[in-house]
Structures are given as structure tokens and as C-alpha cells.
């Protein structure tokens, strides 16, 4: 984790990904609409890890799927998500406007890697892990057969996938092993942008640390890493900045060292996430998140917030890194 705010500022002009007003709506039968993501704004610099955190169902994974064009047919997107051109070339790609041919041939796996939330759905059930790794190496690098074998084994080692399991099929793997196999596949192309959607699911603490450390090394080599996670300890370990999402909106973005240490987060929801941890106050946030198909006009967190007032019936603007009418004062 970086110790200085200057890191982000120094790399602001070297953004790998620039997202503006990203909005995703799902049209349901009967005319209902689910507001899965609303007006997401953030930049991700080369060499930076941005951790996107929040409760289940807040829109984190939908945001990642939108960036890769993997949303279902009833989804409607707006906004922009500019992916910087590869080094030595020109022409950024708007991921939200790109057609399926462009995404499939030039973006997914090559310029944007994905560690999926559900690895079983991304692994071919009738092929061994080794063959899938080697095929991915061939498709992305075009190396010789001998080189493909070594590259596949190297990728497995980076993801802490045991060499003795490389010739097994996906159905023979535990959930944790399947997660590590998917991580190995994502690391092969050395994509300039890596989206890691809950990459530590099913792993014990030692493997969590090893996995996120490898993802951090991927960023340290000058690439961007968007880490989507429930695991705040993993985020604290490797993130440069933290973005907190609630009910489809990003409500706070802060440097990681300020978020996890003094002065702490300013949004009451973000503060509640930290206070709910066993090694902190171990106090759960009261109530439940709102239904995304019936969001209030004002602050969506107001019904659960001890600081809410009548002013919270109006939607707060995102100012100075936080969207709140009553941001908390920094703690010593």
C-alpha cells in the first residue's frame, strides 16, 4: 500500500482507465427498472490498485461486467469508459461503445484481463487446466509448444496453483483451486488492465495474501488493477486507493492509508464497514440495503444512518471525495 497521496497525482496523466458517468439499468418485465450502477466516476492510473468495496448486491460486479461488455441483453448502459491505447500506439477504446467483435478480438484477455467471481463458469469443463493455460498462452503470445508449456506452469505458480493438479479437469477442483486456476489464466496475457472480481473467494488467509501480493506485483509492473472485494484486509494489504459503493453509487474515494488508518473514511457507510470488522468495533451496520428497483430520491443510506437529517431527502453531490450531506469529521 502506498504511503503518499502524491503517487496518484504523479500518475494522473497516465490513466489506464477513465470512467465517467457509467450507468447500468436492467429492464425487467412489467416495466420495472433496476438501477444497478449510477454515475460511476473514477480514474485508474498505471501502477495503481483501486479497491472497490461494498456489501453484496451494491453493483460492484455489474460495473466490471459493463467494462468487458458481458452484461445480459436487458441491460442498458450509458457514460464512457476509456481504455488507454497500448504503449507505442494511439487511439483509446471506449469500452461501453465498442462492439462485440472489438471486445472479443482486441480487448478481453489482451488489453483487459479478468479474474472472475465465478471461476467454474469461465473454465472449460472438458479440458484440463494445463491445456486451457497452454491454449491461452498460444492465443495471446503465439509462442512455440515447448515455450507454451513452461509459460503455463509459470502462470500456475504465480497464482499458487499446485503443479500436481494441472492435469485435472475443472470438476475435480475445489472452489479455491478453481479460483486459482482462473487467476492463472488472467495473468497470462500481462494485460495492461486487470479486473479482479472477488479473487480470494474460497482461499485461506495465507493463500489470500499470496494471491493479492501477486496481483499487486502485476500493478507494480506499470499496469492498472481494479480489485473488487468484500475482503477489506486484502484491500488494505495492496490498494493505493479505496472506492466505496452503496446501492449502485460510489459514495467515497480515498487514499488507502487514510481510509484504513487515521483519519479514516468520511462517509458514514464507509465508516460502518470498518467498524463491523472483528478486529475493530465489531458492530454491524443496522438495517438492510434498499432494493435497487426502488431507490429513494435522496441519500440511499439515510434510513440506516445515525446522522441523517431532513436534508438527506435530497441526493448529496460528490464533493472532495465523498457523497454525503454530513461527512464525518476525521478521527485522531
Joined grid coordinates for residue 149: 508449456
Q: With pLDDT > 90 as the criterion, what percentage of the chain qualifies? A: 84
Statement: residue 157 has pLDDT above 80: yes
Give me the phi and psi of 154, to 5 degrees please: -65, -40
Per-residue pLDDT reduced to its tens digit, 103-138: 999 999 999 999 998 887 789 999 999 999 999 999
Instruction: Yes or no: say if 317 and 323 are a contact pair by the CB < 8 Å rule.
Output: yes
- For the segment 282-309, the average pLDDT, to the nearest whole number, is 95
Neighbours of 146 (CB within 10 A): 8
68-90 as b/e: b if 16+ CB within 10 A = bbebeeebebebebbbbeeeeee
Q: How far apart are CA 136 and CA 138, in angstroms?
A: 5
> In this predicted structure, what is the pLDDT of residue 314?
97
Question: Under a CB-based contact definition with an 8 Å cutoff, are residues 273 and 88 in contact?
Answer: no
If you average pLDDT over residues 141-165, what whole number do you get?
A: 91
Give residue limits of the domains in the chain: 6-111+191-323, 120-189
Question: pTM of the prediction?
Answer: 0.92
Cβ-contact 111, 94 below 8 angstroms: no
Residue 144 — pLDDT band, cuts 50, 70, 90?
confident
Average per-residue pLDDT for the chain: 92
What are the CA-CA distances from residue 211 to residues 28, 235, 277, 316 (Å)? 38, 12, 21, 37
pLDDT for the residue numbered 5: 45
Is 323 a residue whose pLDDT tops 50? Answer: yes
Kindly state the average pLDDT of the residues 251-260: 98
**Terminal Cα-to-Cα distance of the chain (whole angstroms):** 21
Pick the CATH number of 6-111+191-323 from 3.30.70.20, 3.40.50.300, 3.40.50.720, 1.10.1740.10: 3.40.50.300
Lowest mean pLDDT among 28-32, 38-42, 93-97: 28-32
Amino acid at each position: 500500500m502506498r504511503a503518499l497521496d502524491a503517487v496518484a497525482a504523479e500518475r494522473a496523466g497516465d490513466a489506464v482507465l477513465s470512467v465517467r458517468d457509467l450507468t447500468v439499468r436492467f429492464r425487467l418485465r412489467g416495466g420495472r427498472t433496476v438501477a444497478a450502477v449510477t454515475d460511476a466516476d473514477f480514474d485508474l492510473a498505471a501502477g495503481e490498485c483501486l479497491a472497490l468495496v461494498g456489501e453484496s448486491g451494491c453493483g460492484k460486479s455489474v460495473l466490471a461486467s459493463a467494462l468487458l461488455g458481458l452484461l445480459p441483453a436487458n441491460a442498458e448502459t450509458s457514460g464512457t469508459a476509456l481504455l488507454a491505447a497500448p504503449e507505442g500506439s494511439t487511439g483509446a477504446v471506449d469500452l461501453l461503445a465498442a462492439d462485440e467483435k472489438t471486445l472479443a478480438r482486441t480487448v478481453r484477455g489482451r488489453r483487459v484481463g479478468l479474474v472472475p467471481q465465478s471461476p467454474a463458469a469461465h473454465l472449460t469443463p472438458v479440458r484440463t487446466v494445463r491445456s486451457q493455460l497452454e491454449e491461452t498462452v498460444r492465443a495471446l503470445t503465439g509462442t512455440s509448444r515447448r515455450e507454451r508449456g513452461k509459460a503455463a506452469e509459470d502462470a500456475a505458480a504465480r497464482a499458487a496453483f499446485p503443479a500436481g493438479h494441472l492435469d485435472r479437469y475443472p470438476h475435480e477442483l475445489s472452489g479455491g483451486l478453481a479460483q486459482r486456476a482462473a487467476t492463472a489464466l488472467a495473468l497470462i496475457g500481462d494485460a495492461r488492465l486487470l479486473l479482479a472480481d472477488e479473487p480470494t473467494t474460497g482461499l485461506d488467509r495465507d493463500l489470500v495474501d499470496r494471491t493479492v501480493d501477486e496481483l499487486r506485483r502485476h500493478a507494480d509492473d506499470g499496469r492498472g488493477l481494479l480489485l473488487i472485494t468484500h475482503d477489506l484486509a486484502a484491500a488494505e494489504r495492496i490498494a493505493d486507493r479505496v472506492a466505496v459503493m452503496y446501492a449502485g453509487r460510489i459514495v467515497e474515494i480515498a487514499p488507502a492509508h487514510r481510509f484504513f488508518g487515521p483519519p479514516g473514511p468520511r462517509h458514514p457507510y464507509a465508516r460502518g464497514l470498518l467498524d463491523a470488522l472483528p478486529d475493530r468495533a465489531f458492530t454491524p451496520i443496522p438495517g438492510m440495503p434498499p432494493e435497487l428497483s426502488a431507490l429513494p430520491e435522496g441519500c440511499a443510506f439515510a434510513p440506516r444512518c445515525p446522522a441523517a437529517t431532513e436534508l438527506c431527502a435530497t441526493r448529496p453531490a460528490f464533493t472532495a471525495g465523498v457523497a454525503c450531506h454530513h461527512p464525518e469529521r476525521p478521527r485522531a
